[in-house]
Structure 1
């Protein structure tokens, strides 16, 4: 009879990957909370599995939990690094507008990047679809550029409208006999909304 290896083989999902979604969610939450030791997390997960009446066979081992936690921490570090770079780039853009579609594409890009990092951490020989991520980022860049142009044009239109309204208000105010100071204040108020 052939001996069954305890070592995971390439392509086989880990016991933690096979946990029911509610158990996996609890596990991830407990691991994210830095106050919990891995032993505390393991005990809490085993207790939860018992409370739910699930079979003991799905209980993760200490070493399996450690491998999973180590993998998640490595991916988390990579994500934090990506986020820091993204924030630095966004900081350079300042308060330029971002449209909803552009945000959606950026989020898709982040998600795909996360999946690629997960896949690379699990199987270094796996093929990662960098082309799709690159295309999504390029589309986001183009949408961002279009959104900025639209925002710039909208500001120009608002300013032109405010200038016309201020000129009309000044004319009416002078005809009504208002003081030049009052006329100036009205004009400033109108131009301040542009």
Structure 2
């Protein structure tokens, strides 16, 4: 396994500062000058590799957010379902990215992913994660189906009650009203 880079060995607050500076559009040289002002010496190439890795992670996050936002637009008003589907989709994205890293085998992430794929315990845990993801997908689909059934039942019941009020106002017989409810709503007369 590759050893951590000189940037990865820096304290978290320094790495966060590097990220903030880059987010504010600072160049590698400007970031290096800032680090030197803090009496931190790193090579330009190490900083460049670190920034590239940060940008790759940022791109993956942007892609995950785009997928998440698309899912939220498609899901309607069930917040529990949105959250579950979002988590499932993010896990799918993680699994795909992990397998792609292992296949490419480039950089620290690829080498680490390949090493994990050769570890029997890691493979067992990975397969258990995939199994749980599949179960979560099924559970979420069942949950959405139950919510839709409850909503449909509630809507039919409310419509039937509204028909009762209109039927009284228009003078429809109880038999006629029951036939209309059964034919249209599938609701028996109460």
TM-score interval, normalised by the smaller of the two chains: 0.5 to 0.7
Q: Taking structure 2 as the reference length, what is the TM-score of the superposition?
A: 0.60
Shift of 1:62: 1.2
Judge conservation of contact 1:46–1:59 (CA < 8 Å) in 2: yes
Shift of 1:70: 1.9
What is the Cα-based RMSD across aligned positions, in Å? 3.8
Distance 2:69 2:86 in 1: 20
Distance 1:20 1:110 in 2: 31
Q: Taking structure 1 as the reference length, what is the TM-score of the superposition?
A: 0.59
Partner of 2:45: 63
Judge conservation of contact 1:16–1:64 (CA < 8 Å) in 2: yes
Partner of 2:133: 137
Query: Residues 111, 72 of structure 1: CA spacing in aligned structure 2 closer, same or farther, 3 A cutoff?
Result: same
**Match among 21, 24, 33 for residue 43 of structure 1:** 33
Judge conservation of contact 1:97–1:147 (CA < 8 Å) in 2: no
Moved more, 142-151 or 109-118: 109-118
Residue correspondence of structure 1 range 64-103 to structure 2 within 5 A = 64-81=46-63, 86=67, 90=71, 93=74, 95=76, 97=78, 99=80, 102-103=84-85
**Structure 2: any 5+ residue segments left out of the alignment?**
118-122, 172-190
> Which structure carries more helix by proportion?
2
- Between Structure 1 and Structure 2, how many residues are aligned? 156
Distance 2:63 2:8 in 1: 25
Query: Residues 118, 72 of structure 1: CA spacing in aligned structure 2 closer, same or farther, 3 A cutoff?
Result: farther
Judge conservation of contact 2:7–2:15 (CA < 8 Å) in 1: yes
Judge conservation of contact 1:27–1:41 (CA < 8 Å) in 2: yes
